[in-house]
Structure 1
Amino acid sequence: MSNNRSGVSDFDKLTDDLLYGSLALSPVSATQTGYHEHNGAALDEMLDDYSAAGIEAQRKFYEGFQGRVNALNPSSLDKEQRADLEIIKNNLNLSLLELNTIQSYKHNPTVYVELAGNALFAPYVLEYAPKDRRYQHIIRRLEKVPALFEQAKANLLDAPEVWNRVAREENDGTVDLIDKTLRAEVPEPQKADYERAAGLAIAALKDFNGYLAAVLSKKTSDWRLGRDKYVQKFNYILATGKSPEQLLAEAEADLKSTRQELERLAAPKTPKQALDDVARQHSTAETYMAQAKSTLEQATAFVREKSLVTLPSRSNLGVIETPEFMRGIYAVGGFNAAPPLQPELGAFYWITPIPKNWSKDRVESKLREYNDYGLQHLTVHEAMPGHYVQLEYANDVEPKSRRLLRNVFGNGPYIEGWAVYAQELMTDQGYLNNDPGMRLTWLKQLLRVLANTILDIRLHTMGMTDQQALDLMINDTYQEKEEATAKLQRAQLSSCQLPTYFAGWKGWLTIKDHQQKLRGASFSLRDFHERALKESAVPLPVLDRLLE
């Protein structure tokens, strides 16, 4: 008994040491998580250290924890701790794969640009302290921006053209954040300090853009990860037990069957004709944001009416424009969860506005894709009852170390799979009075989920060309050109994230079916949702075991 208790105690300490130690190595993430001080160090005033010494410190940290994990006796752990252990192992492996093999910090300038933007935006938007204190943190971080970009220039060996271009575009957004958004609200006593720090930071950002355009642009590289690295990363991120080839085969088979289902639903029209009819029902560029907000109210009322899941007790969701420095990867929108250690501070449903300088054709293409039904599905996925509800449940997990672990290192297929599952759930439950446009759009969205998996695996490991990817999206899955172009860019900027939607959706359906068979007549959909959400983002095979 005492040995078992000792094993549990060792594991709890290991988890805490890993979580808080890793956040201390990434102060920007720490602020976003709600962790503000580590061993006396004010993390909100610091930036991540990308010096050679800082990178080596990360490597030693994760290698040290691998040793501690390997020394554990798993039989001494309960089932929840064994689930946590699997998450820890996957993320230690992923962190070391990144540091030792993929090494984005040597090739991807958006790493630094997005870090700087998030470092400044988080203290601005999260009210974890009085405004003057948060601006003090912003000023301290602004002072460190020049050093960060000197580290970036020292580290970057080359960059794919798309990473270089997007970094410059996002960097312009960070300049705008400093020059306009943050400057407009500086407390009077801090204005002089802000101006001094902001001037140096803006100069460094502009200098970095000049470096990207004039120097790094001459050192190009391929954005494709390649099969060996992709397979390793895929296994650690998805943790489903399936290989990329297995998931690809499933996605391509489902693509055929989903297209057939869409053809049946659209008849006597063709799918394209039926979807064109749906696409014509859309907002304007001026009303797009307001319509997105109204869909949130509609979806919330429906979830309550149908008792699909008990909704979060906190009223902490805001709908805001996607920060400019994040629009390269979030071309449509996204969700920014409330800090797990301070969930009362608020979560944000991001909507990316339509740029005023876009041509009429580009605007129309975007609005056709995110038509009245497309916006409804976006809101269901990102917020209600998708990411917002899931992550609010995650923010109530106890003990705190488990809450933090399953948030910070949460399993992608669990998270994205729930959001896709929520879209199908709302459609099946008759959202919008069983409007056929909702189901047509669901099938189109499902085709997009399938295309995400196919293009990510084929682009990164099988030599798929840009044109083949665009043809898949536009011709086979009926996406508008603007959507397909943005998705191709996203696939070039990331790897192994796009397959999480399909892998996760399939996983959630499999678990629901299994639980339904286990419980028979006593099965309750609402009970299933709540029990699964209370576990938070564990790998889906683990979730099934935890629910038995």
Structure 2
Amino acid sequence: MTRSLSFLIAFSLFIIGCKKDGQAPPLTPQGNDSFTAYETHFLDALWKLNPEWGTDEGYHKYDSLLVIPNDKNREAMSLFLKKQQDSLAKFEVNDLTPSNKMDYHILQNQLEYSNWKISVLKDYQWNPAYYNVIPAFAHMLNEHYAPLAKRLRNLHQKMADLPLYYKEAEKQIKNPAPELTALAIEQQTGGINILEKEFADSLKKSIIPAAEQKQMTDRAKLAVDAIKGYISWLQALKSDKPRSFRLGKELYEDKFKYETQSAFSAQQLFNIATERKKQIHGDMVKLSKELWPKYFGKKTMPADSLDLVSRVLDTLSGKHTTAADLPSEIEKQLPKLSAFVKDKDLLTLDPSKPLKVRKQPAYFGNAAVASMSSPGPYDKNGTAYYNIISLTGLSADRAESYLREYNDYTLQILSMHEAIPGHYAQLIYANNAPSLVKSIFSSTAMVEGWAVYGEQMMLDAGYDTSPEMKLMWYKWHLRSVCNTILDFDVHSNSMTKEQALKFLTHEAFQQQAEAEGKWKRVGVTSVQLDSYYDGYKEIMDLRDAYKVKMGDKYKLKEFNEKFLSYGSAPVKLIRSAMADGKDN
């Protein structure tokens, strides 16, 4: 999971203050110059209307503003979207440069998606986790993009309307999904410390006068009371007919279309993933038979092929670090991964961009074990964070279950995915791409797909050629494949928790703790789990076609860097541009 995911839904929270802020300037489209002017105005309006999203992207002009998500503003947003669609439609797309043409299609999809979320999905009514400004507060408090006093004063201003924000949230929510209510409670409870303690601690380190500090801490107490009030309201909320977290097949297909911008439909991807699972099982059986004598001697192999694989994997999984040493073990891996990428000439890395391993912030919730928080395109030199959940405090059995899942083999693959050559490296390329649109409205499938592709690329280049690592990579790769199967079967069909856990532990060979965590995740997200295999599949198909096109001139590094030069655009748009031989 990445920075781009955190504010994927924020686009539908635009707040229109007045006509001059919400509408594009009058344009007589004349090609690329006019389109560039349109994009510039559009983004400027977006950050004023969505300051939290702007903060996440590194745009801090409107940090002090907090928008209130009420009906009036939502209606204004619908009008805004219509006007933006009308403005965009005035451009002749075939007259635009390849880069602007991609931006055109990205914006067109985003406007349609935002309108669909407001008018059809309406998750602002049934998802209490929709209302959460704590990440923006944390970003402003902890990132050093401006002097501390300025950031604290912006925070103080932003807190003024926090009680109104959460009261409005209570008005909007109707019959929410229980799983999403629980997530909201978890996120708000985990993040309240940002304003309850960390804000006051930062004030003590600032040059702000004592009298002003007193005003700021008083307001922070009111803000904390508002968050606690929202938590209590959610805890006491009763509903005779709560909405199911499942989207249903029609909504799922629509969301998949907008969110992944895939070359496939959701049903097609599910079918492809199902066949891929069978292929992987076959390869894993062959490797397990090869490894069996090494670890079990002359013991009889299990008759059931999946049991055979499970036995070998279970033995290999016993080799792992400790809960206390997990973060430091990850830190040790990063220089090794960087050196390998450089030695094999897979990609040009920028060692000047800071990367830190940290305990996953509590306000994230624990839907995912690891994630990458990357700086936005306006803050290219900001710190990227490799977030990992803390296993301390868990029961011994549960901590052991996680450690066996993230053993000495798969922990390295996790770091390939999250950091090098995965999310950390890719998002640096995206921030350096000339188009802000491709970075801001990033394709989740491209971002996650690249990370999955990067894992295989490292092993194909000889990172660890042992059959043990190969078997563990197959297990890891099954995560992406089975994510797709699980997400579709749960949201489009009616897979139960019991069926899901059996599927994940038996057919995907996951530890119990990992499987339970994945069930929780599929209950609070939708479509996102598809992005891993979808993006991977599209990138591999593109690379195969590019190899044929280039013939003897093909070089892996050249493909990688050309692909990444298009920012985080949908793979199908990158494929079209690369097929035409046109640069970004």
TM-score range, shorter chain: over 0.9
TM-score normalised by length of structure 1 = 0.94
Supply the distance in 1 between the matched residues of 2:533 and 2:560 (Cα, whole angstroms): 19
Query: Does 2:492 correspond to 1:455?
Result: no
Matches within 5 A, 1:275-314: 275-312=313-350, 314=352
SS at 1:535's partner residue? Answer: coil
Residue 416 (structure 2) aligns with: 380
Gap runs ≥5 in structure 1: 38-42
Structure-1 residue corresponding to 2:395: 359
Query: How far does residue 216 in structure 1 lie from its aligned partner after superposition?
Result: 4.6
* Equivalent residues in 2 for 1:397-476, closer than 5 Å: 397-398=433-434, 402=435, 404-431=436-463, 433-476=464-507
- Partners in 2 of 1:217 and 1:181 — Cα distance? 35
1:106–1:328 CA distance, 2 compared to 1 (3 A): farther
Partner of 2:531: 500
1:89 aligned to 102, 108, 112, which one?
Answer: 108
Match for 1:147 among 129, 139, 164? 164
Kept in 2, the 8 Å contact 1:157–1:219? The answer is no
Contact in 2 for aligned 1:316/1:346 (Cα 8 Å): yes
Matched, 1:33 2:57: yes
* 2:512 corresponds to 1:481: yes
Contact between 1:309 and 1:530, CA under 8 Å: does it hold in 2? yes
Give the alignment partner of residue 33 of structure 2, picking from 9, 13, 18.
Answer: 9
Tell me the equivalent position of 1:182: 199
Distance 1:279 1:181, change over 3 A: farther
Q: Deviation of residue 513 (structure 1)?
A: 0.8
User: Structure 1 CA distance, aligned partners of 2:322 and 2:199?
Assistant: 29
C-alpha deviations, 1:349-381, integer Å up to 9, x for none?
11111141x211111111111112221111110
Cα distance in 1, alignment partners of residues 550 and 83 from structure 2: 43
Whole-Å Cα distance in 1 between the matches of residues 30 and 430 of structure 2?
A: 27
Q: 1:20 and 2:44 equivalent?
A: yes
1:259 maps onto 2:281 in alignment: yes
Query: What whole-Å deviation, never above 9, does each CA across 1:415-461 have from its counterpart, x for those lacking one?
Result: 11100000111111121x42333222211111111111011111111
CA 1:355–1:18: 2 relative to 1, 3 Å: farther
CA deviation profile, 1:79-132 (whole Å, cap 9, x unmatched) = 2221111111111111111111111211111111xx321121111222110011
Question: By how many angstroms is 1:262 displaced?
Answer: 0.9
TM-superposed CA distance for 1:57, in Å, is: 2.6
TM-score, length of structure 2 as denominator length: 0.88
Residue 222 of structure 2 aligns to a residue in which SS?
A: helix
Q: Post-superposition shift, 1:313?
A: 5.1
2:557 counterpart (523, 526, 530): 526
Out of 53, 56, 66, which is 2:75 matched to?
Answer: 56
Alpha-carbon displacement from aligned partner over 1:173-226 (angstroms, at most 9, x marks no partner) = 111222233332223535423321221111111111111111256662101111
Secondary structure at 2:445's aligned position in 1? helix
| Aligned pairs (5 A) from 1:157-176 | 157-176=174-193
Counterparts in 2 of 1:513 and 1:213: CA distance versus 1, 3 Å: same
Code of the residue aligned with 2:166 in structure 1: it is F
**Contact 2:366-2:389 within 8 A present in 1 as well:** no
Give the percent of matched residue pairs that are identical in Structure 1 and Structure 2. 29
* Poorly superposed stretches of 4+, deviation over 6 Å: none
3-state SS, counterpart of residue 226 of structure 2:
helix
Higher percent of residues as helix: 1
SS of 1:335's equivalent in the other structure is strand
Q: Which position in structure 2 is the counterpart of 1:229?
A: 251
In structure 2, distance between residues paired with 1:136 and 1:319: 29
Q: Within 2, Cα distance between the matches of 1:125 and 1:178?
A: 12
Instruction: Name the CA shift for 1:540/1:201 in 2 (closer, same or farther; >3 Å).
Output: same
User: Mean Cα displacement is larger for which, 71-80 or 384-393?
Assistant: 71-80
Instruction: Give 1:541's match in structure 2, choosing from 572, 575, 584.
Output: 572
Relative distance call for 1:12 and 1:487 in structure 2 (3 A) is same
Kept after mapping to 2: 8 A contact 1:159/1:216 = no
Distance in 2, Cα, partners of 1:355 & 1:313: 31
Relative to structure 1, the CA distance from residue 45 to residue 218 in structure 2 (aligned partners, 3 Å threshold; closer, same or farther) is farther
Counterpart for residue 11 of structure 2 = none
- The superposition leaves residues 264-318 of structure 1 with CA deviations (integer Å, 9 ceiling, x where unpaired) of 1121432112211221111111111111111212211211111110002532222
Q: Do the aligned residues in 1 keep the contact of 2:124 with 2:172 (CA within 8 Å)?
A: yes
Given that residues 47 and 119 in structure 1 are in contact (C-alpha distance below 8 angstroms), is that contact kept between their aligned partners in structure 2?
A: no
Q: Structure 1 residues 184 and 374 mapped into 2: Cα distance closer, same or farther (>3 Å)?
A: farther
Aligned equivalents of 2:571, 2:339: Cα separation in 1 = 29
In structure 2, give the amino acid aligned to 1:409. F
- Over the aligned positions, Cα root-mean-square deviation in angstroms equals 1.8
CA offset at residue 4 of structure 1? 11
Conservation of the 8 A alpha-carbon contact between 1:417 and 1:503? yes
CA separation in 1, counterparts of 2:244 and 2:383? 38
Number of corresponding residues: 532
Structure 2: which 5+ runs fail to align?
Answer: 1-26, 293-307
Of 138, 154, 179, the residue aligned with 1:121 is 138
Residue deviations 1:207-256, cap 9 Å, x none?
11111111256662101111221111111112223111111110000001
Deviation, structure 1 residue 162: 0.9
Partner of 2:280, secondary structure, is: helix
Q: Who is 1:350 aligned against?
A: 387
